[in-house]
């Protein structure tokens, strides 16, 4: 170690000592944080590897639930009217529930182009970057949609809730 410079007073010496201790503690803290981060990363990697098969199987099962419910929609949910379907129709089962919700969406017809909307003078349906503003068009009347060659259609979505058996 190099020789220390003589400091002018005991206060200077104490302040220098405290600064040296603080610097050493900061260095130690950074090293401990780095070690913590490395260990945390390893735990996250192990956890990700551990749960990956379960996550994949759950995604497959969710797709299978949706496909089954879509294929057997009438059997599982009956034929609800539009208001019931919009509010959500449940099919209660011992292990959970299937929920059918139907909402109206605007079918995005390929014939709807920026040029077609400009030709009709409906610029509120055109974005500045010259693309069709579907979010605006979804609020249009059915008559206006028909003029541009599109329409509203029902879009069903199926969700589910599982009951945990302990």
Answer whether 101's CB lies under 8 Å from 159's CB.
Answer: yes
Residue range 128-144: mean pLDDT, rounded: 90
**What pLDDT is recorded for position 3?**
53
For range 1-6, the mean pLDDT: 62
The candidate with the shortest Cα–Cα distance to 112, out of 141, 149, 87, 78, is 149
The pLDDT of residue 73 is above 80: yes
Alpha-carbon distance values, 48 to 36, 37, 93, 153, 154 (Å): 18, 16, 32, 40, 38
In the predicted model, is pLDDT for residue 2 greater than 60? Answer: no
pLDDT tens by residue, 100-126: 998 888 998 888 999 899 999 998 998
In this model, does residue 63 exceed pLDDT 90? yes
Same domain (yes/no): 113, 96: yes
Phi/psi class of residue 108: alpha, beta or left (left: φ > 0; alpha: ψ in -120 to 50)?
beta
Task: Give me the pLDDT at residue 82, please.
Answer: 81
| Mean pLDDT across the chain | 90
- What's the pTM? 0.54
* Residues 65, 144 within the same domain: no
Q: Are residues 90 and 55 in the same domain?
A: no
Q: Does residue 65 sit in the same domain as residue 84?
A: no
Do residues 144 and 116 lie in contact, with contact meaning Cβ atoms separated by under 8 Å?
no
103 and 61 within one domain: no
Whether the predicted pLDDT of 1 surpasses 60: no
């Amino acid at each position: 170690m190099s020789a220390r410079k003589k400091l002018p007073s005991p206060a200077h010496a104490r302040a220098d000592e405290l600064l040296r201790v603080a610097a050493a503690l900061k260095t130690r803290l950074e090293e401990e944080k780095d070690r913590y981060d490395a260990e945390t990363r390893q735990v996250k990697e192990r956890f990700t590897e551990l749960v990956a098969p379960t996550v994949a199987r759950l995604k497959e099962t969710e797709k299978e639930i949706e496909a089954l419910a879509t294929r057997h929609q009438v059997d599982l949910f009956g034929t609800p009217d539009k208001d019931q379907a919009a509010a959500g129709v449940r099919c209660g089962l011992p292990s959970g529930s299937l929920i059918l919700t139907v909402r109206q969406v605007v079918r995005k017809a390929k014939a709807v182009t920026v040029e077609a909307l400009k030709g009709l003078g409906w610029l509120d349906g055109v974005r500045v970057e010259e693309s069709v503003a579907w979010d605006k068009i979804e609020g249009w009347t059915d008559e206006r949609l028909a003029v541009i060659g599109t329409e509203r259609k029902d879009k069903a979505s199926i969700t589910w809730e599982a009951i945990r058996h302990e």
